Amino acid sequence: MDLFLQDVSGEGVYSFTAGGYILFIILMVAALLTVSYFVNREGKGAMSIRQLTTSALCIALAFILSNVKLFKAPMGGSVTVFSMFFITYIGYMYGPRVSLAAAFAYGLLQMIVDPYIVSVPQLICDYVLAFTALGLAGFFHNSKYGMYKGYVLGVLGRYFFSVFSGVVFFADYAPEGMSPVVYSLLYNGAYLSIEAALTLVVLMVPVVRAGLNRLKHEATDYSVRKEATL
């Protein structure tokens, strides 16, 4: 592990070495090529220039907003400003093929910028699986109230993997006498549910909802789009 990760704290918290960043880049390129193969298989579901540029813009917004901390939740964890929404919004516009690929890329971005690493399986769970789960929102892109349902599904997907990680990799953080399962449920549920609730309240404002639906129409390829209304 010393070749790719180094213990920077002496307490089992790791960071990437130069070899780790090189391996990460190789794996990222391989993974993106794999994703591209399945997305573009036989020309079906190919990502257009419009989809690529719009998804890139949403990923950039999500990343910027993930660094804007409103406050700390009661049990810990920061409540950010709509950082999860812009990833799920990709799914609302373009469906699961594009949203899962975009969410996967977003997870890789979060992983490489400021990772908290105690083991490779934890790294995969907290960054690859948890953030990619936000892409599940795409399965509701043609559904009535799809923007809301997709957002909730994406957040629940991230919550599932975050709770799993807390139970498996961070059980020692649970207070004495409290089950690691209960602690992980409460810890992750606190900050994710607060952000989700605040986001849903804003999305229900008529002018916001209308604006986001208009953006979806403008950003969607009309030749392949099936309209979905809220």
Over the stretch 134-150, which tens digit does the pLDDT of each residue have?
Answer: 999 999 998 999 999 99
Query: CA-based Rg of the chain, rounded to a whole angstrom?
Result: 18
Q: Which two tokens stand for residue 105?
A: 């890329």
Q: What is the DSSP string of 16-69?
A: E-HHHHHHHHHHHHHHHHHHHHHHTGGGTTPPPHHHHHHHHHHHHHHHHHHT-E
Q: What residues contact 36, with CB distance under 8 A and at least 6 apart?
A: 101
Can you give the pTM of this predicted structure? 0.82
Spatial distance between the Cα atoms of 187 and 72, rounded to a whole number of angstroms? 11
Query: Is 201 among the domain residues?
Result: yes
CATH number at residue 199: 1.10.1760.20
In a domain, 25, yes or no: no
Does residue 187 form part of some domain?
A: yes
Return the minimum-mean-pLDDT range out of 3-12, 44-53, 96-105, 131-140.
3-12
Kindly report which listed range (21-30, 113-122, 198-207) carries the lowest average pLDDT score. 21-30
Contacts of 206 (CB under 8 A, 6+ apart): none
Answer for the pair 180, 166: CB distance below 8 angstroms, yes or no.
yes
User: Mean of the pLDDT values across residues 211-223?
Assistant: 78
Q: How many CB atoms lie under 10 A from the CB of residue 212?
A: 16
DSSP-based three-state secondary structure for 7: strand
Q: Evaluate whether residue 22 is within a structural domain.
A: no
- Report the distance separating Cα 105 and Cα 128, nearest Å: 9
How many domains is the chain built from? Answer: 1
What are the phi and psi torsion angles at 7 (to 5°)?
Answer: -80, 110
Q: How far apart are CA 26 and CA 20, in angstroms?
A: 10
Residue 181 within any structural domain of the chain: yes
Chain segment 102-123, per-residue pLDDT in tens = 999 899 888 887 778 888 889 8
Helices and strands counted in the chain (H then E): 9, 4
* Residue 1 within any structural domain of the chain: no
b/e map 119-141, b = 16+ CB within 10 Å: eeebbebbbbbbbbbbbbbbbbb
User: Average of pLDDT values for 182-190?
Assistant: 95
Structure-token pair, residue 229: 């209304």
Report pLDDT for 17: 66
Range of the domain at 140: 47-219
